Amino acid sequence: MTDRTHRRVLLIRHGQTEWSLTDRHTGRTDIDLTAKGEHDAATLDGVLDRLGPIDPYVIVSPRRRAQRTADLAGLRADEITEGVAEWDYGDFEGLTRVQIHADHDPDWAIWTSGAPHGESVDAMTRRVDMAVAMVAGHLADHDVVIVSHGHFSRSFICRFLGWPIAFGANVDLRPAGTAMLADVAGDRRITHLVGPEGASLSTTAL
């Protein structure tokens, strides 16, 4: 009999894009992977085999960069949903944090200020909480894989663990990186973060 008391959630951030390479906030904009992004995503092929026995339900963001990453990783989407799309950056779409600080608000951070004409911190928290509840429903029968984006994945980690979404500022998930969460009889934890080359990462970031 399969052990239903120990379930895992594997978060995969999409591979590098031109905008992630230059630190531009990429929410609703549909953009392709770079050549490096394609390479790094392809190194994820077989990731489920390396994780050991896993019977996943695969959820993928509708954005091309996430869907392409899933394809290159050899994952078939069971569900494609806006519920796991990236934070909507509103007026700050396509801008770097340096530009935002220089031209709009020197104290701005997505984690505490949200995005004007995009998603506020409260709105993002509500959406991520809905995603956490959706995933919890699937965990009764499956492990879950989510192929998504940087700020969404960091937000998901926080809310899955019951932390304020702002704690995402202290989680580092690089393009084509992965994060493993576990639910062990209701006790939720993060087990590891891994970069695109397989190196373990710190859980602190600017």
Q: Which of 39, 79, 82, 86 is catalytic?
A: 86
19 is in an annotated binding site: no
**Using CA atoms, how far apart are residues 157 and 165, in angstroms rounded to an integer?**
9
**Using CA atoms, how far apart are residues 117 and 81, in angstroms rounded to an integer?**
21
Q: Is residue 86 flagged as an active site residue?
A: yes
- Select from 57, 77, 60, 83 the least CA-distant residue to 138: 57
65 is in an annotated binding site: yes
57 is in an annotated binding site: no
Q: Which of 14, 25, 149, 151 is catalytic?
A: 14
Residue labelled with tokens 């926080």: 158
Q: Is residue 151 flagged as an active site residue?
A: no
Give the count of alpha carbons within 13 A of 39, CB side only: 4
What is the biggest distance separating any 2 CA atoms in the chain, rounded to whole angstroms?
59
141 is in an annotated binding site: no
| 56 torsion bin: left (phi>0), alpha (psi -120 to 50), beta (else) | beta
**Using CA atoms, how far apart are residues 157 and 201, in angstroms rounded to an integer?**
15
Per the annotation, where are the binding residues? 26-27, 65, 86-89
Per the annotation, where are the binding residues for substrate? 26-27, 65, 86-89
Active-site residue numbers?
14, 86
